[in-house]
Structure 1
Amino acid sequence: MENSDKQLLYIKVPDEYALAAKIPGFDSSIPLPLLLTDENNFSAESISEEMILAGMLNVFAYDRDNQHIAYYRDIFKQLRPNILEEMTNAAILKIKNADFDLAEQLLFALERLFPEHIQTKLNIALLMDERSRFYEQAGAEDYADYYTDKAFQTYKEVLAAEPPLPEAFFNAGFFFIRQKNFPKAKSVFETYIATETAQDELTLHRKQKASELIKWIETQALDDELFKSAFDFIQMGEEEKALEKIREFLEHHPKVWNAWFLLGWALRRQERWKDASEAFLHCLELGKKTPKELAVAYCDICNELAICLMELEQFDESRRWLMSALEQEPDNIKIISNLGTIALKEEKTEEAKAFFRTVLDIYPEDALAVEILKKLENK
């Protein structure tokens, strides 16, 4: 979220102002930031404590090199002693409601207000990861990649903190699993188990989950260098090299459903629709033996399979897999958009419009949905 500082004004508050009496060590020579909600109706009489505090939050979030930031921090903590808990809870709620811009503003402000609080930095990593997944579902790959990198960089900082924050290693494990970086996921889960000393019910549950995922990675040989190389080659657009690596991996581990997904993914990118669809179907069949692990990737597998079947003009089968995925993730924009694409291919214009309108209800910036609806409305 970019700061619009046209609403930010700096004012010098006289010693006799009511706010001055509340602040020990108040210095009237230092200008205070004021966030205006209505520039046209601004007057000295309209200045409130809340406007000044809002201005300080704006500075904490977006003007981190401000020469008076330590002074503002002291004032804010004195006037709002419970702000850490209040703003953290508010930010978490905003993340859950996909109000990412406001969550980012709150967490960035907290990070500057409490620079020693590593939990806030972890919350920023979680926000960036969640935002990345949102854009990934929306098919906005550039944004997804941008926020994935932001999450990765933030996790690097959090994992290097001293003393270590065990919870950070637990959460980072799931981030690395989503990135198919299984060796790193295994490593951070092991570190979590080694560093976590709490004995409460939540911690015991987390330790059990981490142990299960370490065992799964080892049993499926997902920390094998061949698997990681195959994934990296696909990411780099070198599908032939990826196929070499993944086929070599499958010679030793033929029942690893993740490997069949990578095989299908590489083949799909080569537009080998039939071969790819068979790989995805085999992936789903093998995944039935580990339903909890499969659930994490189920929608992606169904979507990839549906794309192949769509290209093979097997529209009913394609739709069936998309609907199965939609049951798991009702707001998955990629799935809804592909249902709209099938309707278009079948010349069901009104049905297609409904799907793409739903996409825009969830993500108004979806350029593809906007373009398709515009074309359909002009017909």
Structure 2
Amino acid sequence: MNPTSPLDTIYYINLPENFSLSKNAMHIDPTIPLPVQQKDSDAPGTFDPKELTPEQILSGLLTIMAYDPKNEHILYYRTLLKEARPNLQKELTEAAILKAKNEDFDLAEEIFSALRGYDPEDMVTVLNTALFFDQRADAYRRQGLTDDADAYDEDALVYYRDALDAEPPLPDAFFNAGFYFLKKHNYREAKSNFETYIALTCDMKDEDLGENGIYKKNRAQEMVNNISNRNMEDDHFVAAYDLISRGEEEKGLQEIRKFISKNPNVWNAWFMLGWGMRRLENFEAAKQAFEKALTLEGGKTSDTYNELAICLIELNDLEGARNCLNTALKSEPENTKIISNLGYLALKEGNPAQAAAYFQTVLEYNPDDKIAAAELAQLDV
């Protein structure tokens, strides 16, 4: 029978008073049950203290940190970990960041959970957790897993909010939260966070900020200027995104047209107009809007080219669609939405073998992509 929870893989033991793991072992209070990670070879009800390893204890303690942070003995267990591995927090943080970078998300999430249980007051860990969920959401959105991406974005927001409330303030929380809200098209909140970051760092000398800090400060100011210059805090712009996102495209298009009438050179507005039109399957009007976005400063993004390609496929301009998708793929070579659209383009061109190759590539990046799997199953190649 497989365990239903990671806590099912540990058991508690009481050790004799004179028990020690080694000459230099951590001090263990025999009156407090000790969580031990069971071995795969352990049979139920069998335990020999002579076979107990330090790794089993450390693993058991970390499991408690991750999945039972309200355990009645949590303070004692934290003390044991600090005695056994003084550099544990640094080691685990580096491991979690590396796992997240390699998109080993489940293990990274488990390590971040253990870190929060180990030191719940550490706001850097809280911020790192927010960044992790933010990154995980972005990865899933690139794979077309919109529902999963939205769920992890919500998780990220919870930890960003906690990090933003830190005392003393944590400048990097405001910098990173600014980009989170920018991604969510909440330009007012994004601008506010970037402005706060600038205010928190304005009195710091360049030598104290360092090269990375100077870059962040300039980048934050650039984002504030972009939002202000493009008037992206405008009520019509904000309402348009909210309405189209909720499936009220007609109302959203009314709002974005009002915005464009006063702000005709904002590429994001034309992109939003094209997005709404494409969702309504008005592909010619959507095509024109995306093409306009490409002519404006900042509009030549992979998303713009990808959206334009979808319209061109529907309008049977297959060569134009391929050019757009290839351009988008140069910017984001592992974006499975773009690769999937190349597969649909190949189908439209009557090349099922090439389409299958694209869908297979999608599955190599994301084995859980149900759409690519379904398309591949239908192809007799």
Q: Same fold (TM over 0.5)?
A: yes
Match of residue 356 from structure 1: 359
Corresponding residue number in structure 2 for 1:9: 11
Aligned residue number for residue 332 of structure 2: 329
Which residues of 2 match residues 42-61 of structure 1 at below 5 A?
43-44=47-48, 45-61=50-66
Which among 156, 159, 164 is matched to residue 159 of structure 1? 164
The alignment-based identity, stated in percent, is 44
Matches within 5 A, 1:95-110: 95-110=100-115
Secondary structure of the equivalent of 2:347?
helix
2:176 paired with 1:171: yes
Given that residues 240 and 251 in structure 2 are in contact (C-alpha distance below 8 angstroms), is that contact kept between their aligned partners in structure 1?
A: yes
Partner of 2:375: 372
CA–CA separation in structure 2 for the residues paired with 1:70 and 1:39: 30
Q: 2-side partners of 1:337 and 1:37: how far apart?
A: 43
Contact 2:270–2:290 under 8 Å retained in 1: yes
Cα deviation per residue 1:58-80 (whole Å; 9 max; x = unaligned)?
Answer: 11111222222111111001111
- Matched position secondary structure for 2:379: helix
2:252 to 242, 252, 267: 242
* Aligned-partner Cα distance in 2 for 1:369–1:37: 39
In 2: Cα distance, 1:307 partner to 1:318 partner? 7
Alignment map for 1:126-165 (pairs within 5 Å): 126-165=131-170
Cα gap change, 1:302 to 1:56, in 2 (>3 Å): same
Kept in 1, the 8 Å contact 2:236–2:255? The answer is yes
Task: Return 29-38 or 40-49, whichever deviates more.
Answer: 40-49
Letter in 2 for 1:67: E
Q: What is the aligned partner in structure 2 of residue 282 from structure 1? A: 292
3-state secondary structure, aligned to 2:130:
helix
Q: Would the alpha carbon gap of residues 37 and 263 (structure 1) be closer, same or farther in structure 2, given more than 3 Å must change?
A: farther
Match status 1:202 vs 2:212:
yes
State the distance in 2 between where 1:117 and 1:103 align. 17
Name the counterpart of 2:349: 346
Which of these residues, 211, 219, 228, is aligned with residue 221 of structure 2?
A: 211
Whether contact under 8 Å (1:95, 1:127) holds in the other structure is: yes
Query: Equivalent residue for 2:84?
Result: 79
Trace 1:186-201 onto structure 2 (pairs within 5 A): 186-196=191-201, 197=204, 198-201=208-211
State the partner residue of 1:35.
37
How far apart are residue 156 of structure 1 and its match?
A: 1.0
CA contact (8 A) 1:233 1:241 kept: yes
Q: Give the whole-Å Cα distance in 2 for the aligned partners of 1:47 and 1:284.
A: 64
Residues 5 and 347 from structure 1, CA distance in 2 versus in 1: closer, same or farther, beyond 3 angstroms? farther
Does the Cα contact within 8 Å between 1:7 and 1:39 map onto a contact in 2? no
Is the 8 Å Cα contact of residues 339 and 352 (structure 1) preserved in structure 2?
yes
Matched, 1:265 2:275: yes
Q: Pick closer, same or farther for the CA change 1:40–1:19 going to 2, 3 Å.
A: closer
Partner letter of residue 312 of structure 1?
L
Cα distance in 1 for residues equivalent to 2:116 and 2:7: 20
Q: Which deviates the most, 257-266 or 313-322?
A: 313-322
CA distance in 2, matches of 1:9, 1:327: 51
The CA distance in 2 between the partners of 1:244 and 1:336, in whole Å, is 33
- What secondary structure does 2:209 align onto? coil
Does the 8 Å CA contact 2:6/2:67 hold for their aligned counterparts?
no
Consecutive aligned runs of 4 or more in structure 1 exceeding 6 Å deviation: none
Match of 1:91 in 2: 96
The separation in 2 between residues aligned to 1:5 and 1:319, in whole angstroms, is: 51
Looking at structure 1, the residues matched to 151 and 90 of structure 2 have their Cα atoms a distance apart, in angstroms, of: 29
Distance 1:174 1:267 in 2: 27
Amino acid at match of 2:163: V
Tell me, what secondary structure is at the counterpart of 1:246?
helix
Q: Distance in 1 between matches of 2:351 and 2:15?
A: 65
SS in 2 for 1:33: strand
TM-score normalised by L of structure 2: 0.93
Give 2:9's aligned amino acid. Answer: Q
Tell me the secondary structure at the aligned position of residue 18 of structure 1.
coil
Secondary structure, in 3 states, of the residue corresponding to 2:296?
helix
Deviations 1:199-220, CA, capped at 9 Å, x for gaps: 3232222111111111111111
RMSD (Å) for aligned C-alpha atoms: 1.7
CA distance in 2, matches of 1:188, 1:357: 41
